[in-house]
Amino acid sequence: MKIYFAASIRGGRDEAKVYKKIVKYLKKDNDVLTEHLADQNLTADGQTELTDKDIRDRDVEWMSQADIVIADTTNPSLGVGYELAYAERLQKPVIILHNRDKSKLSAMINGTDYFFDVNYYENYHDAIQILEEKLSGKQY
């Protein structure tokens, strides 16, 4: 299936290694549209080869194609917040992953009924195990 993975870029790249592990796992059986999030050379400047309008328009188009949105919300990010609201607007299934040792999830996400599938993890192994359980055998 097509997965839209959302995670911080300009919000900060501290969790980039975790994003890499998650994307590597998801790519085994799926098409990850936002693979660039796993790129360890991508800095908080973002994709400077593109205009911001191109990034936004491409990403909402990718989201419209996606079967599911998986977001790592550990590192707060305006873009991820926007994408989650956009996913709700498009009624896409959403799985949220969050490392609660590192930050507290925004009330605007945690307090939205649509985002019922919030999963807390402690390290990337847990995050992948959560995804394994969620994605195996379930049709999105």
Q: How many C-beta atoms lie closer than 10 Å to residue 31's C-beta?
A: 13
Residue nearest to ligand 5HU (CB): 79
Sign of CA dihedral 21, 27, 29, 33: positive
Q: How many C-beta atoms lie closer than 10 Å to residue 36's C-beta?
A: 16
Residue 47 C-beta: closest distance to ligand 5HU, Å? 4
Structure tokens at 36: 């660039």
Residue 137 C-beta: closest distance to ligand 5HU, Å? 27
Q: Is 83 marked as a binding-site residue?
A: yes
Q: Is 19 marked as a binding-site residue?
A: yes
Distance in angstroms (rounded) separating the CA atoms of residues 127 and 131: 6
9 or 135: CB nearest ligand 5HU:
9
Phi, psi values for residue 97, rounded to 5°: -115, 135
Amino acid letter for position 44: A
80 or 128: CB nearest ligand 5HU:
80
Chain mean position to CA 41: 18
Residues found near ligand 5HU in the complex (CB under 6 A): 6-11, 34, 46-47, 55, 59, 77-80, 83
82 or 137: CB nearest ligand 5HU:
82
Q: Is 85 marked as a binding-site residue?
A: no
Q: Is 4 marked as a binding-site residue?
A: no
Classify 96 as helix, strand or coil: strand
Q: Is 106 marked as a binding-site residue?
A: yes
Residue 129 C-beta: closest distance to ligand 5HU, Å? 22
Q: Which residues are annotated as a binding site for substrate?
A: 19, 83, 106-108
